Amino acid sequence: MANPSAPDPHLNHWADQAAERTLRAHPEALSGKGDGSQGKPESIAVAAGITPSGVVHVGNFREVITVDLVARALADRGVPVRFIYSWDDFDVMRKVPKDAPQQEMLHQNLRRSIADVPDPWGEHDSYASHHIAAFEQSLAPLGIAPEFIRQHQRYRAGAYAEGIHEALANADRIREILNDARRAHGARRLLADDWLPLAGFCDACGKDDLRFAWDGEWSVHYDCGQCGHAHDVDLRKGGNLKLPWRVDWPMRWAQERVAFEPGGKDHSSAGGSYDTAKRIVAEIYGWSAPQYVGYDFVSVKGQGGKISSSKGGVVTVADCLEVYEPEVLRWLFASYRPNTEFQISFDLDVVKLYEDHDRAFRLAHEADDGGRNDKKRQAARRTMQLASVDHHHIEPGTPAPFLPGFRHLSVNLQIFDGDIERTRAVYAGEAELADPEVRRRFDQRARCVWSWIEQYAPEDFRYRIRAEPVGRVVEGESRMALQRVVAVLEQDPEADDATLGEHFKALAGELTTPLKEIYPLFYDLLLDRDRGPKLSTLLATMGAARALPLLKASLQEA
């Protein structure tokens, strides 16, 4: 195994810094102590999780990508990693998202475990499973493959019996820790002296209105305030009882020996859930809290504020992948430190973001020369590696594989009405397109560009080539310009962008009317609008066979 303490200029990302702190805080992950492995390093656990109480949106994705980046950084130091993703589907259904179907049915199921609420879409075994399946499927293209854990299954199987028993045995101490946090925040209501660290759902009605009594061993009695049902639960056999969130989180840290887990800034404040969990896991469960990174919110440009599933209409990872290539979406998150807030955009910012990505992509391939830009190259190289789906390392000085520019590709795709194969033919001069991986990446980007054009591009960015020619009355120098361009295309049907550009330059020197006043005529005849992409590029890409009929219709004799 590589020496994790050896300095490596390649490991220069914030995820590498988090990985180093994690290893220093949890040396047992390197010593092999505690698992009977006779000196072999055990895997180090990193964790993420969420309650699937609604659509799992791109804001929630920040947690899983943060853990994925740190998991990769740990693996690059030679450490076996176990990446856990907990679905907290044993939590209570508190709100009904406004855009969910079967609103009445969902309201009737409030206060039940979301693992037991029926799927209103009728596709899965529960409401929770519906949202879980959608999110898990969206992670696959991004190269993120954690070990998914359904918490309702663990609890009901009795996997946490020891952890619950330990919490009950230390109820007074846990109550003191939680009340300390309440006092620090000026709360008037404190946990009562008879409070027990328990929550759960009635075996009869499924609701969470329970009162508990513990016999001091393995049996818990509850009375349901909703239906009056009373029941005795043997913790060792599992069932519908669980720990409340602030105790459940540290219990599972100890159970899974978690060494790294991030949290949203709402958990990161003084006296928040991380602070209390840190005390509980140390004082009750004898485990040191995982290294922690607090992450800021991700918002969607134009919507403002924190993304909320309960409000409906949220943007998912799958929505993002329609516009952002997996590598570009990963790069976007990897480029920001977790505590930095940023926005996901679907407007013209998308074009700039792709251009920024491609610039960093080319920089990462440049050779180091011993100058002051080497650190920028190394940082770009590392970020690109972490952003890549397959985690491949870029060798300095290697040619950057061909990537079509987003803006240029959008022009060409619209000329061919989204036909990727015909658009690819425009780039036939790029020999690298013979490489299957370069071709795959081209097609992937083309699909994203076309999706953006159809769904999000501003109206003045979109256009379509006319299907049928129209005749306009064209006189004076406008007619002269039109005749000249038609003649050029007839004489040289294969004229490229540069050749046509020279003809337009020569034409501008012959006319007294500025070409910018004549261009709207050409765009009208070709696109049914008064502006468009660079005219020489448009004509060269369309080709003479397609452009001439649209232009010549206005030169016919009356």
Domain that holds residue 490: 476-555
Task: Decide if 236 is inside a domain.
Answer: yes
Q: What share of the chain is helix, strand, coil (3-state, %, to 5)?
A: 50, 10, 40
How far is the first Cα of the chain from the last one, in angstroms, to the nearest whole number? Answer: 84
Alpha-helical (H) ranges within 41-109 are 58-75, 103-108
Task: Decide if 355 is inside a domain.
Answer: no
What span, in angstroms and rounded, lies between the C-alpha atoms of 530 and 541?
A: 19
Of the three residues 295, 325, 341, the one that is the final residue of a domain is: 295
Going by C-beta distance under 8 Å and a sequence separation of 6 or more, which residues neighbour residue 104?
Answer: none
**What pLDDT was estimated at residue 520?**
96
CA atoms within 13 Å, Cβ hemisphere of 214: 19
Question: Tokens representing 128?
Answer: 């929770």
Cα 252 to its chain centre, rounded Å, is 25
Question: Tokens representing 543?
Answer: 């080709």
What is residue 299's three-state secondary structure? strand
Task: Decide if 426 is inside a domain.
Answer: no
Task: Decide if 254 is inside a domain.
Answer: yes
Low-confidence residues of the chain, pLDDT below 70?
1-7, 28-41, 266-271, 303-313, 557-558
Please give the C-alpha separations between residue 123 and each of 129, 132, 171, 324, in angstroms, as whole numbers. Answer: 9, 12, 41, 27
The CATH number that applies at residue 506 is 1.10.10.350
Task: Decide if 80 is inside a domain.
Answer: yes
The CATH number that applies at residue 40 is 3.40.50.620
Question: Tokens representing 342?
Answer: 């940023």
Going by C-beta distance under 8 Å and a sequence separation of 6 or more, which residues neighbour residue 436?
Answer: none
Please give the C-alpha separations between residue 132 and each of 42, 95, 96, 366, in angstroms, as whole numbers. Answer: 29, 17, 17, 41
Q: Domain tally for the chain?
A: 2
Going by C-beta distance under 8 Å and a sequence separation of 6 or more, which residues neighbour residue 386?
Answer: 13, 15, 69, 72, 73, 330, 334
Residue 135 DSSP one-character state: H
Task: Decide if 449 is inside a domain.
Answer: no
349 touches 412 (CB < 8 A): no
**What pLDDT was estimated at residue 21?**
95
Q: Residue 51 class from Cβ within 10 Å (0-12 exposed, 13-18 middle, 19+ buried)?
A: buried
**What pLDDT was estimated at residue 2?**
44
85 touches 146 (CB < 8 A): yes
What is residue 337's three-state secondary structure? coil
Please give the C-alpha separations between residue 328 and each of 100, 393, 445, 447, 495, in angstroms, as whole numbers. Answer: 30, 16, 10, 14, 34
What span, in angstroms and rounded, lies between the C-alpha atoms of 230 and 227?
A: 9
Question: Shortest CA distance to 359 belongs to which of 377, 373, 374, 347?
Answer: 377
Question: Tokens representing 418?
Answer: 């989204």
Of the three residues 276, 295, 314, the one that is the final residue of a domain is: 295
Question: Tokens representing 163?
Answer: 């952890």
**What pLDDT was estimated at residue 188?**
81
Q: What is the DSSP string of 489-556?
A: HHH-TT--HHHHHHHHHHHHHH-SS-HHHHHHHHHHHHHSSS--S-HHHHHHHH-HHHHHHHHHGGGS
What span, in angstroms and rounded, lies between the C-alpha atoms of 94 and 248?
A: 18
Residue 399 DSSP one-character state: P
For 251: left if phi > 0, alpha if psi spans -120 to 50, otherwise beta; the answer is alpha
Of the three residues 236, 270, 295, the one that is the final residue of a domain is: 295
What span, in angstroms and rounded, lies between the C-alpha atoms of 48 and 553?
A: 63
- Give the number of other Cβ atoms within 10 Å of residue 477's Cβ: 17
**What pLDDT was estimated at residue 265?**
75
What span, in angstroms and rounded, lies between the C-alpha atoms of 351 and 357?
A: 10
For 305: left if phi > 0, alpha if psi spans -120 to 50, otherwise beta; the answer is left
Task: Decide if 393 is inside a domain.
Answer: no
108 touches 66 (CB < 8 A): no
**What pLDDT was estimated at residue 70?**
97
Going by C-beta distance under 8 Å and a sequence separation of 6 or more, which residues neighbour residue 223?
Answer: 210, 211, 229, 230
Task: Decide if 404 is inside a domain.
Answer: no
What span, in angstroms and rounded, lies between the C-alpha atoms of 192 and 408?
A: 66
Question: Tokens representing 312?
Answer: 């409906």
Question: Tokens representing 501?
Answer: 């550009």
Q: Which pTM does this prediction carry?
A: 0.90
19, containing H or E segment:
helix 14-25
172, containing H or E segment:
helix 171-184
Question: Tokens representing 258?
Answer: 């978690």
